[in-house]
Structure 1
Amino acid sequence: MSLTRLNIEAFRNIQSAQLIPAPGINLIYGQNGSGKTSILEAIYFLGMGRSFRSHLSQRVINNDDDKLTLFATLNLARGDSKIGLRRFRSGETEVRIDGEKVKRLSTLAETLPIQVITPESFSLLFEGPKSRRQFIDWGAFHADPQFYGAWTNVRRVLKQRNQLLRNRSAYSNIQFWDQEFVRYAEQVTEIRNHYVDSLNELLKGIIGEFLPSVDVKVSFTRGWDSKTDFAELLENQYSRDLATGHTVSGPHKADLRLRVGTLPAQDALSRGQLKLLVCALRIAQGKLLKQQIDKHSIYLVDDLPSELDAQHRQLLLKQLTDTGAQVFVTAIDPAAIVDSLHTPPSRMFHVEQGRVTVIE
């Protein structure tokens, strides 16, 4: 799978741009503020319905416009597919795939799987468990068609249970919801656990390439003691949940733990090593997707040279090339990428003040 055409209208400082990307490595270069990262952001927006740089989607709309428009042609095994997205300043989003209106943004993620490696990607290691749950759930969503429904039901039941706790309802009024909660929580947890086990098999080899002298342990925690019956735990913790006004334990507290010895990875590794670890996680996830459903991810790599020496740049680009996937990588100096590749990039784009030029 690859993008063969990308149109961007009124997205940040890009008023209008048309790109014809190639399979393989697409290098986008330009000075800071030129708009090169905005191209990656536009592709991500098209695949996720949101930005990786801001929680407020209205901010990505060009100041002179009331809406942004993104359009892409995808080359798939079954033939070409067309995706269009329009986001209005009012907050309304309109999505079409092959001319048909799409109601659920999850359909975008299913159609256009994306792996993003940006300075913001460090949130996977430095922020709370939410980012790591999202990482697991991205893979579980693509790997198992039962996951999305179970995960949606967990959120629905959890919201109802927390409302009853805030209303200080008796446990007899919560017990019915706990039965539902346990059922969907165990389904979500089983899928997540199986996914992390599968990911670990690939991850060990990639981490071994990137960080051969570091022993990184990756494990999944479900959000409650695995030796404890979840239904009994919910009943026994009712008083505690009532006091806090929310459910303390459950799949909404699950986490992906990365440790070096007895220390969390973020405390044991340098910034450069952490960047390589995040890259390893993303590459492993993309490779696993290809194994499980025979679909490539599209990799978006922002400012690849930063914090990596020449040796590790070469290693990372080799791993990305070996995936066989389409890659979009940005840099200020194109030589930092070109000199790290065994063959020239498939295509190069120069960005200056929001204008995109293909370099032959």
Structure 2
Amino acid sequence: MSLTRLNIEAFRNIQSAQLTPAAGINLIYGQNGSGKTSILEAIYFLGMGRSFRSHLSQRVINTEQDKLTLFATLSLPRGDSKIGLRRFRSGETEVKIDGDKVKRLSTLAETLPIQVITPESFSLLFEGPKSRRQFIDWGAFHSEPQFYAAWMNARRVLKQRNQLLRNGAPYSSIQYWDLEFVRYTEQVTEIRNRYVDSLNELLKGIIGEFLPRVDVKVSFTRGWDSKADFAELLAAQYSRDVATGHTVSGPHKADLRLRVGTLPAQDALSRGQLKLLVCALRIAQGKLLKQQIDKHSIYLVDDLPSELDAQHRQLLLKQLTDTGAQVFVTAIDPAAIVDSLHAPPSRMFHVEQGRVTVVE
């Protein structure tokens, strides 16, 4: 699976650009502020319906326009597929896949799986468990179709339970919702746990190559004491939940723990090592997707040379190349990437002041 055509209109400082990416490594280079990261952001937006740089999607619309438009042709084993997205400054979003309107943005994620490695990717290690839950749930969503419905139902019931807690409802009024919450929680937790177990098998080998002298332990925590019965725990913590106004324990507190010895990985490793660890997680996730459902991810790697020496740049690019997936890599100096590859990039693009040109 790969993008064979990408049209970008009114996205950040890119007024209009048409790219014909290759199936392998696509190198995008240019000075800071030229728009090279915006190309990666546009691909991500097309696959996720949002940005990886800002929670306010209206900010990605060019200041002189009232909407942005993204269009891509996706090469699939069954043939080409066309994806279009239009985002208005009012907040409205229109999505079409092969001419049919799409109501759920999750359909985009299912159609165009994306792995992103950017300076913001450090949030996976530094910004608390939410980013790590999203990481787990991305894989669970793609690997097991029943996960999405169970996850949405668990969120719906949790929202209702929290509202009752804030209203100070007696436990007799909450008991029904707890039965539903436990049922969906067990489904979500089982799939998450199964996914992390599968991921670990791939992850060990990749971490071993990136960080051969570091023993990184990766484990899944469900969001409550694994020895406790969840239904009994909810009943026992009712008074505490009422006092806080929300459900203290549950799948919304799940986490992926990464430790080196007794320390969290973010406290034990240098920034360069942490970048390699994040890369290992993303590459393992993409490889597992290929194993499980025979679908490649598209890798978006922003500012790859930063904080990595030549040896580790070569190692990372080799791992990305070996996935067989389509890769988009940005850099200020193209030599930093070209010199780290065993073969020339499949295609090179130069970006300057929002204008994109192919480099032959």
TM-score of the aligned structures, taking structure 1 as reference length: 1.00
Offset at residue 13 of structure 1 (A): 0.1
Alpha-carbon distance, 1:208 to partner:
0.2
Kindly state the Cα deviation for residue 168 of structure 1 after the two structures are TM-superposed.
0.2
* Unmatched 5+ stretches in structure 1: none
Residue 8 of structure 1 and its aligned partner are, at CA, apart by: 0.0
CA distance in 2, matches of 1:104, 1:357: 34
Report how far residue 88 of structure 1 moved: 0.1
Question: How far 1:262 sits from its partner (Å)?
Answer: 0.0
* In structure 2, distance between residues paired with 1:137 and 1:78: 27
Deviations for 1:237-269, whole angstroms, at most 9, x for unmatched residues?
000000000000000000000000000000000
CA distance in 1, matches of 2:217, 2:38: 35
2:223: which partner in 1?
A: 223
- The offset of 1:104, in angstroms, is 0.2
Is residue 2:188 matched to residue 1:201?
no
1:239 aligned partner: 239
- SS across alignment from 1:154: helix
* SS of alignment partner, residue 27 of structure 2: strand
Residue aligned with 1:220, SS: strand
Q: Find the aligned partners of 1:131 and 1:326 in 2 and give their Cα distance.
A: 24
C-alpha separation between the residues in 1 aligned to 2:313 and 2:229?
47
Alpha-carbon shift at residue 158 of structure 1 (Å): 0.3
Q: SS state of the match for residue 52, structure 1?
A: coil
For the residues of structure 2 that align with 1:77 and 1:155, how far apart are their CA atoms? 35
CA distance in 2, matches of 1:199, 1:209: 16
State the Cα RMSD in Å: 0.2
Q: For residue 140 of structure 1, report the CA deviation from its aligned partner.
A: 0.1
1:111 shift after superposition: 0.1
The alpha carbon displacement at 1:131 in A equals 0.1
The CA deviation at 1:211 is: 0.1
TM-aligned CA deviation for residue 179 of structure 1: 0.1
**Matches of 1:229 and 1:257 in 2, distance apart?**
22
C-alpha displacement of 1:58: 0.1
CA–CA distance in structure 2, aligned partners of residues 87 and 171 of structure 1: 44
- Displacement of 1:29: 0.0
3-state SS of paired residue (2:358): strand
Displacement of 1:93 in angstroms is 0.2
In 2, distance between residues paired with 1:120 and 1:227? 35
DSSP 3-state at the match of 1:32: coil
Cα distance, 1:182 vs. partner? 0.1
Structure 2 distance, partners of 1:63, 1:267, is: 40
In 2: Cα distance, 1:283 partner to 1:209 partner: 12
Q: CA deviation at 1:328?
A: 0.1
Q: Distance in 2 between matches of 1:58 and 1:296?
A: 30
Distance 1:243 1:179 in 2: 21
> 1:64 is paired with a residue of what secondary structure?
coil
Distance of 2:226 and 2:149 partners within structure 1: 23
TM-score (norm 2): 1.00
Q: Which residue of 2 aligns with 1:106?
A: 106
Shift of 1:59: 0.1
Partner deviation per Cα, 1:73-99 (whole Å, 9 max, x = no partner): 000010000000000000000000000
1:341 corresponding residue in structure 2: 341
SS at match of 1:152: helix
SS of the aligned residue for 1:191 comes to helix
Provide Cα deviations, 1:9-60, integer angstroms capped at 9, x if missing partner.
0000000000000011000000000000000000000000000000000000
Q: CA deviation at 1:292?
A: 0.1
Deviation (angstroms), 1:167: 0.3
Per the alignment, in what secondary structure is the counterpart of residue 282 of structure 1?
helix
| Residue 279 (structure 1) shift | 0.1
Count of residues paired in the alignment? 360
Residue by residue over 1:260-298, the C-alpha shift from the partner in whole angstroms, topping out at 9 and shown as x without a partner, is 000000000000000000000000000000000000000
**Rounded Cα–Cα distance in structure 2 between residues aligned with 1:264 and 1:5:** 42
Q: Distance in 1 between matches of 2:156 and 2:69?
A: 32
Structure 1 residue ranges, 4+ long, deviating more than 6 angstroms after superposition: none
Write the distance in 2 (CA, Å) between the matches of 1:59 and 1:4.
Answer: 27
Please give the alpha-carbon distance, in whole angstroms, between the structure 1 residues aligned to 2:261 and 2:225: 22
**Structure 2 residue aligned with 1:258:** 258
CA distance in 2, matches of 1:149, 1:342: 44
**Aligned ranges 1:1-360 → 2 under 5 Å:** 1-360=1-360
Instruction: Name the CA distance, whole Å, in 1 between partners of 2:149 and 2:27.
Output: 38
Q: Deviations over 1:123-147 (max 9, x none)?
A: 0000110000000000000000000
The CA deviation at 1:350 is: 0.0
* Secondary structure, aligned partner of 1:94: strand
- 2:53 is paired with a residue whose SS is coil
Distance 1:359 1:58 in 2: 32
Deviation digits for residues 155-182 of structure 1 (CA, Å, limit 9, x no counterpart): 0000000000000000000000000000
Deviation, 1:337, is: 0.1
Distance 2:269 2:154 in 1: 35
